[in-house]
């Protein structure tokens, strides 16, 4: 199975001001996020990436575009890579949400969490992992792929493929414009890199 680079989108003003964008439309990379996307593209220019996939949200597409451009590829949007549906928490400030009872559930027992008007973490984890498996299944085992997504979906995917309990996934950290690399093997998953901004190496077949 291929090596997949899970790339979080670059910075936007919601990240900068500690607000939750969720699935809001019209959230674009800010100036720093654009620089991060260009730096990612330069970092990956020589990588033998066979395809670039992305969440359909603007901030992800704007991160994926420079990567695809330097590689001579097209960005392929995939709905399964989209952000967790946080429902009524969209456009809310994290500082205010930390005062709610549900915030403790999000942090300590996320397997039980359903966002008001949104989805459960468990459903989001199933969605993202099913999407990654489907993407991997269309490529040769030696291929290197790039998938641009969001912090929580990436953390959920890593937790699942490593066999971590869902309630521990919040212990992982995924920064804007970071790269996490996983090798999806037929008998298991190998985590090659987590939350880094350096060039990626992957195991020889």
pLDDT, tens digit (0-9, with 9 covering 90-100), for 54-70? 999 999 999 999 999 99
Give bridge partners of residue 127 from the DSSP assignment: none
Q: Give me the DSSP letters along 45-105.
A: TTS-EEEEEE-SSHHHHHHHHHHHHHHT--EEE-GGGSPP--GGGTT-BHHHHTTSHHHHH
> What is the pLDDT, as a whole number, of residue 91?
94
Instruction: Check residues 201 and 20 and name the one with the higher pLDDT.
Output: 20
Per-residue pLDDT tens over the stretch 66-102? 999 999 999 999 999 999 999 999 999 999 999 999 9
pTM for the predicted model, two decimal places: 0.93
Domain 3-196 top-level CATH class:
alpha beta
């Amino acid at each position: 199975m291929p090596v997949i680079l899970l790339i979080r989108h670059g910075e936007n003003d919601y990240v900068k001001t500690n607000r939750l964008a969720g699935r809001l439309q019209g959230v674009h990379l800010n100036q720093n996020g654009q620089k991060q996307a260009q730096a990612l593209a330069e970092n990956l220019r020589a990588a033998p990436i066979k395809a670039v996939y992305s969440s359909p949200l603007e901030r992800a597409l704007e991160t994926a575009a420079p990567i695809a451009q330097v590689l001579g590829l097209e960005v392929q949007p995939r709905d399964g890579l989209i952000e967790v549906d946080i429902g009524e928490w969209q456009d809310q400030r994290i500082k205010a949400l930390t005062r709610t009872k549900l915030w403790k559930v999000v942090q300590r027992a996320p397997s039980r969490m359903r966002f008001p008007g949104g989805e459960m973490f468990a459903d989001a984890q199933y969605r993202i992992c099913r999407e990654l498996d489907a993407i991997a299944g269309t490529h040769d085992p030696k291929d290197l792929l790039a998938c641009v997504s969001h912090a929580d979906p990436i953390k959920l995917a890593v937790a699942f493929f490593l066999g971590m309990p869902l309630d521990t996934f919040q212990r992982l950290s995924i920064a804007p414009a970071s790269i996490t690399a996983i090798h999806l093997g037929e008998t298991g998953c190998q985590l090659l890199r987590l939350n880094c901004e350096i060039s990626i190496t992957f195991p020889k077949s």
